[in-house]
Structure 1
Amino acid sequence: MRTIVITVAMITLTLIVSGVQAKELSKSHRFACTWGSDIAAGAQRSKLSGVSLYGARKQLQVRRFQQPWMRMTAMGITEQTYNSSSKLKPAAVKQTYYEQCVRHELARR
């Protein structure tokens, strides 16, 4: 019984700490993760609807981006999405990308 109480306490503490850490991400890191997750979801939507990787890349070429790094990053995210055999819905890809991006940023610290 004592082991269960200690385990529950450790899990609760871990969740609290991870929640605090997520709030510590800078505004620019949160923006980058949100933006990347939108790109990944769009790529998955295109992939599932039958658009070729060539077509998806062409769409990105004509799109306007706010920052110079965004175009090549979007190309990379799109290519990785197309190379994946995943059949997840775009919303699930978006959520997964965002969570992994946040986890990656926190791990870098």
Structure 2
Amino acid sequence: MDFEHFNKTLISTMGRPAANDSKQLMKIYDILYREIDVEDIDFNAFTYEDIQLVVDTFEDHIYYDDDSGEDFLLLDSHPISLLDSMENVVSNLNNTPKIKPKSKFKFL
């Protein structure tokens, strides 16, 4: 990851007003969830203030393992948990066998 590029881009977008639009915030959560490379991120899709709001949300909805400090648990209400749940539902629907019920009519 090119952290220098990431930092320069964040600083250059700091002056833009934050809309705190849920679409912008979900874009950031999607980037984090899918672990998208820095080169593939559209930094015009959100502002620095949006990122700060996401970081604050993380701090409010996360529990760390007291022993190691490395493991963490997100609450079910956290947007990344919701993304994961939605992806699992879609995956399960796509993987469900397509069963066509037998018709009582011979021509169907």
Q: So what's the TM-score if we normalise by structure 1?
A: 0.26
Structure index of larger Rg: 2
Q: Which has the higher helix share?
A: 1
Q: Larger relative contact order (C-alpha < 8 A, sep ≥ 6)?
A: 1
Q: Which has the higher strand share?
A: 2
Q: So what's the TM-score if we normalise by structure 2?
A: 0.27
